[in-house]
Amino acid sequence: MWKGNGTSCLHRFPFSAINFYCYEGVLDILNGAHRLSDDDEDSPSNTQEVSTFSRLIAGAVAGTTACVACYPLDLVRTRITTQLDGKETYRGITDAFAKIIQNEGALGLYSGLGPTLMVAVPNFSISWVVYGSLKEYALEDELFYNLRKVDIDTGQSKLGFLLTLGCGAASGTLSTLVTFPFDTIRRRMQIQGQHFRPEERVTGINMIRSLLKSDGIKGFYRGITPEVLKVVPMVGTMFTVYEMLKEELMS
């Protein structure tokens, strides 16, 4: 149940850090935002309305950057997780890196990057747009008044724990439902080098055609239930911790 978890943890740390850092940085650039200096602490709030387009672009840039930077770890994680019992190809993370480079070349560490970007870019764009939009709606609609909290010092309304968790879970679920077919192709592309000889491997387009012919549309959504069961708590928790740490670090 925990096979490949070590690689997953190694991948998640830099991936999440790059994702959030790039998202905030691109938002600042697109909206001309600036940090208040110590002399401006008593000034009115410098927060400004963020457009959907800005969130869309920032999410796409953040997802692309994090994905490309951490992709070798993602590939190794997938390879280790999908090994068959008794037919293990890799003995661990280091061994996997060494064998992939030896058998497939350095570019082998980026096998399936194209389909992965087709998942990551819209996934993060949709996720950030949905989360930001739901957050604004929850802060404005009186229906959620009892689930909000108010900053004692500034009087500013903020999302409570349950609202943040709910907005994050909803954004993760929607982005997963939209991008899951590409994720299916991505994973198949990643494990080709592990189970097939170079001459037997196929392109993403041919894989899509083969999957349509053998399983139809439903083949692209094989495994969607456990994926959603994973995404709901994962993304909900991710945004909750993000908001808590952001508030704490900027206080």
Sign of CA dihedral 241, 246, 247, 251: positive
Confidence of residue 222 (pLDDT cuts 50, 70, 90): confident
Question: pTM value?
Answer: 0.74
Residue 246: CB atoms within 10 A of its CB come to 12
Q: How far apart are the first and last CA of the chain?
A: 40
Q: pLDDT tier at 38 (50, 70, 90 boundaries)?
A: very low
- Radius of gyration (Cα) for the chain, nearest Å? 21
Class of domain 5-250: mainly alpha
pLDDT surpassing 60 at residue 34: no
The first and second tokens of residue 134, run together, are 């739901």
Does the pLDDT value for residue 98 go beyond 90?
yes
Residue showing tokens 């997802």:
63
**Cα angle 171-75-215, degrees, rounded to a multiple of 5:** 70
| Burial (CB count <10 Å: 0-12, 13-18, 19+), residue 179 | buried
One-letter amino acid at 7 equals: T
How many Å apart are CA 54 and CA 216, to the nearest integer? 36
- Name the residue with higher pLDDT: 146 or 123: 123
Q: In this structure, what are the phi and psi dihedrals at residue 200, rounded to the nearest 5 degrees?
A: -95, -10
Helices 52-81, 5-31: inter-axial angle, 10-degree rounding: 170
For residues 91 and 182, what is the distance between their CA atoms, to the nearest angstrom?
A: 29
Which residue from 69, 42, 63 is spatially nearest to 119, judged by alpha carbons?
63
Predicted local distance difference test score (pLDDT) of residue 15: 92
Cβ–Cβ contacts within 10 Å for residue 97, how many?
17
Encode pLDDT of 88-97 as tens digits: 888 888 999 9
Q: Which two tokens stand for residue 60?
A: 């796409």
- Domain residues of the chain, as ranges? 5-250
CA distance 176 to 183: 9
> Mean pLDDT, to the nearest integer, of 108-132?
88
pLDDT at 68 over 80: yes
